[in-house]
Amino acid sequence: MSGSYLLKRLLWALPTLFGVAVVVFVLLRVVPGDPIAMMTPPGARAEDIARLRHLYGLDTSIGRQFVTWLAQVARGDFGNSISLREHVATLVLGKLPATLELVLFAMLMACSLGVGLGLAAVYFRGRWPELAIDGFTGLSLAIPDFLWALLFVLLLGVMFPVLPISGRLDPGIAFEPRTGFYLLESLMAAKFATAGVLLQHLALPGGALALPLAASITRILKSSLLEVMNQDYVTLARVKGYSRARVLLRVALRNALIPALTLTGVQFTFLVGGTVLIEYIFAYPGIGNLAIGAVIQRDLPLIQGLILTFAVLFIFTNLIVDMSYALLNPKLRKA
């Protein structure tokens, strides 16, 4: 893939990001609740309130506040969280790795489950496994991810308690991570017992996030595989004596993946957005959980920082999806 294509895509992301920044800023300036009033005790003196207002820059004009804010953001300074009294950047960066691990785990799960089931449905076409897979995808798509999460909590956490339903790591485990990427770090340090515990905690939230995406991958891959299986080159491969499984894996899958990826691309970003509620339900210490707390506390700087972080995550997800089209489809590489 050419570097200029990548550069062009990255440049396109800038106006979007700027638009997001404007909207976020405007949106949060019309909040009726006064954050300063919320953080001061009822009997606070007027000059103290004014001093705080000045401290957080809330006493200048909106345009000026925006310019100041944007300049700070460009330097990576998102200001101080009002409710947690810490740098927004520190807070967000501290929780981001947890969310990234969850998102990547869920995407991996969705892709492997989706591709596996899509292949199986075509391989077993007309027999009971196909029906079972169709039923499964229908059900997974019909039920929104937060209800899956609650169903998992009920079935696998409460009725048959096989998997943990809260947090990221058991409190009793001796593990002193240097970075926020617990899973990666424990794997690199060959602490497989710890990695196992981390994976157990990821299983249910990751599964709830992955199911709807996996189902739509399955469904779309199945229909594009069926289409490809009717092509002449597939017939030719069959005539040459390749087994059905081999044709499916070597010839059909490669050609069917492109439309499947194109059609499911947007849904990868849904998965990123889905983390907000899923982290809340599973008390998973990532930025989604942080976001709900920030909203309930009406913590403007933190909300702004988080939304921008999510927007960047969205844009990156889209970029990666677009780049993988280019990798899979030779026709697009030159464009």
Applying CB under 8 A, the residues found at the interface with another protein are 15-16, 19-20, 23, 27-28, 30-33, 142-144, 146-147, 150-151, 153-154, 158-159, 269-270, 272-274, 276-277, 280, 288, 291-292, 295-296, 298, 303, 306-307, 310-311, 314-315, 318
Helix-then-strand count for the chain, H and E: 15, 0
The rounded radius of gyration (Å) of the Cα atoms in the chain is 24
Instruction: Specify the residue, 256 or 271, whose C-beta has the smaller distance to another protein.
Output: 271
State in angstroms the smallest separation of the CB of 228 from another protein: 22
State in angstroms the smallest separation of the CB of 91 from another protein: 16
CB burial of residue 322 (10 Å; 0-12, 13-18, 19+): middle
Instruction: Specify the residue, 124 or 325, whose C-beta has the smaller distance to another protein.
Output: 325
**Closest listed residue to residue 276, CA positions, set 292, 264, 263:** 292
State in angstroms the smallest separation of the CB of 125 from another protein: 22
State in angstroms the smallest separation of the CB of 304 from another protein: 10
Residue type, 158: V
State in angstroms the smallest separation of the CB of 233 from another protein: 28
Helix, strand, coil % in the chain, rounded to nearest 5: 75, 0, 25
Instruction: Specify the residue, 234 or 290, whose C-beta has the smaller distance to another protein.
Output: 290
Instruction: Specify the residue, 147 or 188, whose C-beta has the smaller distance to another protein.
Output: 147
As given in the structure block, the two tokens for residue 157 are 């956490």
**Closest listed residue to residue 68, CA positions, set 307, 313, 304:** 304
Instruction: Specify the residue, 31 or 131, whose C-beta has the smaller distance to another protein.
Output: 31
As given in the structure block, the two tokens for residue 116 are 């596996």
On whether the CB atoms of residues 277 and 209 are closer than 8 A, the answer is no
